[in-house]
Structure 1
Amino acid sequence: MSPEHFSSRFSLFQIDSRDARYEGFYTPNQSSKEAAVLVPVVIRPTGLHLLFTQRAEHMRQHPSQISFHGGRIEHDDPSFLAAALRETEEEIGIPAAQVKPIGWLPSLHSISNYTIHPLVGFIDTSTNLNLNPDEVAHSFEVPLEHFRSRKNHSTISPTRKNKTQVVHFMPYKNKLIWGVTATIIDKLVLHLG
Structure 2
Amino acid sequence: MSAPCTCRFDAADFRRRAKDHHPASEIAGPGPAFLAHGDHALNRPLVRSLMSRSLRDAAVLIAVVDGADDAEGGAKVLLTRRTIKLRKHSGQVAFPGGSIDPEDASAAHAALREAQEEIGLDPAHVEIVGELPHYLAASGFSITPVLAVVRPGFSLVVNPHEVDEVFEVPLSFLMNPDNHRRESRVWEGAERHYYVIPYSRHHIWGVTAGIIRTLYERLYS
- Alignment TM-score, normalising by the size of structure 1: 0.91
Question: Displacement of 1:29 after TM fit?
Answer: 3.7
Aligned to 1:166: 193
Mark the runs of 5 or more structure 2 residues left unpaired by the alignment.
Answer: 1-8
1:79-120: CA deviation from partner (whole Å, max 9, x where unpaired): 211111110110011122221011001111111010000001
Structure 1 runs of 4+ aligned residues shifted over 6 Å read none
SS at match of 1:10: helix
Aligned to 1:39: 62
- Alignment TM-score, normalising by the size of structure 2: 0.80
Contact 2:125–2:154 at 8 Å: present in 1 too? Answer: no
Aligned to 2:34: 20
Aligned to 2:183: 156
Aligned to 2:13: 5
Cα distance, 1:125–1:133 mapped onto 2, change above 3 Å: farther
Question: Displacement of 1:51 after TM fit?
Answer: 0.6
Question: Following the alignment from structure 1 to structure 2, what is the Cα–Cα distance between the partners of residues 162 and 49?
Answer: 38
SS at match of 1:142: strand
Q: Which amino acid aligns with 1:186?
A: R
Contact 1:28–1:115 at 8 Å: present in 2 too? Answer: no
The percent of aligned pairs where both chains have the same amino acid is 33
Question: Following the alignment from structure 2 to structure 1, what is the Cα–Cα distance between the partners of residues 141 and 159?
Answer: 23
Query: Quick check: which one's strand share is greater?
Result: 1
Question: Following the alignment from structure 2 to structure 1, what is the Cα–Cα distance between the partners of residues 66 and 94?
Answer: 19
SS at match of 2:98: strand
Question: Following the alignment from structure 2 to structure 1, what is the Cα–Cα distance between the partners of residues 131 and 145?
Answer: 6
Question: Following the alignment from structure 1 to structure 2, what is the Cα–Cα distance between the partners of residues 164 and 120?
Answer: 31
Contact 1:28–1:113 at 8 Å: present in 2 too? Answer: no
Mark the runs of 5 or more structure 1 residues left unpaired by the alignment.
Answer: none
Contact 1:39–1:121 at 8 Å: present in 2 too? Answer: yes
Query: What is the number of residues matched between the two proteins?
Result: 193
Question: Displacement of 1:125 after TM fit?
Answer: 4.1
Question: Displacement of 1:150 after TM fit?
Answer: 1.5
Aligned to 2:122: 95
Question: Displacement of 1:166 after TM fit?
Answer: 2.4
